[in-house]
Structure 1
């Protein structure tokens, strides 16, 4: 059962290609029909994300195909839903891979790798902050006076402050800029528009949690991203310098 289906370990959690799974299960129907019929049981952004994969056609050219990166949980469900011996074989294979992934040795190895990445990010962030400091010196006093507060504010309120001081932006435009520049998570899903780990390490945001009581007696937690006082100074300095 070696290499029954390739697994992508570059993401936070292992994923597999839906096309690779379709091939491994020996599904007779077209990939697009098979996935369309089954995806309704799962949530985009949590269980799967759209992507592309490459295939070589008869003339040797490379052709891009629509594909999906799916979680191991979704892959195991789809394998069992095929109700074939091949499906059971694929499911057992994925279970064994998960066990290896969650073994103490692998968990420790990933922790070391994450620590190395964190150190590299901190070094990189420090260099960026030094460069920003040198570039923004002419406007620092003004920006610090505007944001001399420890109170966290909404991103929409930060957009108003920026607009009042000559930066042509609005709430939606600022959200987009924060996502594109690595401060907010741009991947669609439950954590969309939440701060990235880099931004949290820099103390630019905080997350406010609010418990909402539903009429049926159940509760849910609403999460709101707010800009800290340090974050206000950082973004005002950065965007004023770029304006």
Structure 2
């Protein structure tokens, strides 16, 4: 709601939804009515329609040393306000009515109509631009969130989530169950080709140091019954998630074909 001002303003006129309005309490004071506001309003508002000629509003007014209090007020159309001025049958009523007529004339001036039309059009353009910008920003945030969460989504759909490390053979079974058909030894070879596991004889199938640091694998060192030491490679939950997502997204397709050809002797 905005305020419309004229020279030698007699009563404040506000504009809401392209309609001029005045406060019933302001008019009541300006007309110098002696009766209580509520009694005056009850007697003079019967012939008018709510939400057409007037709207109920609450106003806050200060009380001395007691904060503020809310009072019932009414936002009147200019037409209703002019008729209430006539009903007062006083010189003040005539003065206020003539003032409101001038306000109305200025409002209906062709230049003012054009100005309001341009203002409304500009506001609509700004609103559309704002909505467009907000929609674009919302879409960008959603796209970023989808991209960020994509791995979790794919992983959640692909397997039962494991909260513990598993052997490479068990990971091969999980991949196969989800359409990436591969055997244990083939998966070992794929991981060697992709530099996740070492291909050196002295550390065959042992995770590369950087992969352990990234938390994708871990190693345990064990002894056989005859006392010989050996290492076992485990795929951590983080590593399972990482490898499964890459496999299901086709990131291993080229090396997968190479591995399958070499192991099947095609």
1:13 corresponding residue in structure 2: 19
What residue ranges of structure 2 are gaps of 5+ in the alignment?
1-6, 147-266
Matched, 1:47 2:44: no
| Separation (CA, whole Å) in 2 of partners of 1:36 and 1:107 | 35
1:89 corresponding residue in structure 2: 95
Structure number, greater radius of gyration: 2
* 1:1-243 aligned within 5 A: 2-59=8-65, 61-130=67-136, 135=142
1:178 corresponding residue in structure 2: none
Q: After superposition, give the CA deviation of every residue in 1:184-239 in whole Å (9 maximum; x if it has no partner).
A: xxxxxxxxxxxxxxxxxxxxxxxxxxxxxxxxxxxxxxxxxxxxxxxxxxxxxxxx
RCO (CA 8 Å, sep 6+): is it higher in 1 or 2? Answer: 1
Q: CA deviation at 1:15?
A: 0.2
| TM-score normalised by the chain length of structure 1 | 0.51
Q: CA deviation at 1:131?
A: 5.2
| Separation (CA, whole Å) in 2 of partners of 1:130 and 1:28 | 58
Q: After superposition, give the CA deviation of every residue in 1:24-83 in whole Å (9 maximum; x if it has no partner).
A: 111111111111122211111111111122333333733321101110000001110111
SS of residue paired to 1:14: strand
What residue ranges of structure 1 are gaps of 5+ in the alignment?
139-243
RMSD across aligned positions (CA):
2.3
Q: CA deviation at 1:108?
A: 1.8
Q: Which moved more, 1:50-59 or 1:111-120?
A: 50-59
How many correspondences in the alignment? 138
| Separation (CA, whole Å) in 2 of partners of 1:5 and 1:46 | 21
Q: CA deviation at 1:105?
A: 2.1
| Separation (CA, whole Å) in 1 of partners of 2:57 and 2:44 | 17
| Separation (CA, whole Å) in 1 of partners of 2:16 and 2:56 | 16
